[in-house]
Amino acid sequence: MSKVRYRYNPKTLSYEKEKVTTRARLWQLTQILGAGVVVGILLVFAFRSALNSAENRKLIRENAHLKLQYDLVSKKMDQMSVVLKDLQERDDNIYRVIFEAEPIPPNLRQGGTGGVPKYQALKGYASSDMVINTHVQLDRLSKQLYIQSKSFDAVYDMAKEKEKMLAHLPSIQPVSNKDLKRIASGFGKRIDPHYKTPSMHYGIDFTAKTGTEIYATADGVINKANRISGFGNHVRIDHGYGYLTLYAHLSKIAVKKGQRVKRGDVIGYVGNTGKSTGPHLHYEVHKNGHPINPVNFFFNDLTPAEYDKVLQLSTAPNQSFD
């Protein structure tokens, strides 16, 4: 049913009835709906644009923050590389030199990081170069740290072995200074007390009262503990590492063959048995089967002044007691 509307007619100066048809009303409704759709689309685009702008700003801030974190990580890795390099130099030039070990080859210390395919998945992004470089630096640093840790493990083992070796190195006097009267004869050419002819003396003679305690000069195993002609009652200790010590003319032996002893253990007592002209201890040090001057090993319980005195006495041209 159509509705009646009034329209002002300027010609007649009066309101005239105007009949609005259904078709006209439909056209008006279509125009209104079309305008509403257009306005709605514009509002959606405006909202999305504003939303995208906010998201972009958020992403930009996050990217800046991530880049800052990467820069900080990279700076810390540079600092760690400097510290690691110092450790590597100390390892090669100090620690390994002390223990007579070869330095680690430079190409092994560098620690390769693999080929390009390893980082293929990190490519294709805006910050790919930065991320890949950081990963390469981190991988190289990790491998170098691993190599250095293994090197320190080896140095630690060498230190333990060195400690063990030092315990087996003859390094004290076999007779205490408080019991020692004098050093009658040192290592080298001496006049034989029996034959009065020059002969080689392969040890040092310590004069002391009969019954004075004699000490093992290093850790080891008793190699011999018996009486033989010439040396009389004598003891030999195998210290390992090529070292052997000999103690002769004892009045009494306090150890048995095969017994383990520590540096400072009593192994016997000063005497005058065998080819001897008075109570004393004849002491020898052998390295790889060859006798060497024992005075070079008295560094563990002597002051520099005492060592110098022993050195002078041991090299004085006097007659041996055996």
pLDDT tens for residues 90-101?
Answer: 888 877 877 777
User: Average model confidence (pLDDT) for the chain?
Assistant: 78
**If you average pLDDT over residues 69-93, what whole number do you get?**
81
Instruction: Quote the crossing angle between the two packed helices 22-90 and 128-167, to the nearest 10°.
Output: 30
Verdict on whether the full-model pTM lies above 0.75: no
Domain coordinates in residue numbering, the chain:
3-68, 75-167, 182-315
The CATH code of domain 182-315 reads 2.70.70.10
Band of pLDDT at residue 150, cut at 50, 70 and 90:
confident
Per-residue pLDDT reduced to its tens digit, 18-30: 666 677 677 777 7
pLDDT at 18: 67
The gap from C-alpha 63 to its chain's centroid, in whole angstroms, comes to 39
pLDDT above 90 covers a percentage of the chain that reads 24
| Range name among 64-78, 161-175, 219-233 with the lowest pLDDT average | 64-78
Which one is predicted more confidently, 194 or 144? 144
Half-sphere exposure in the Cβ direction for 299 (13 Å, CA): 4
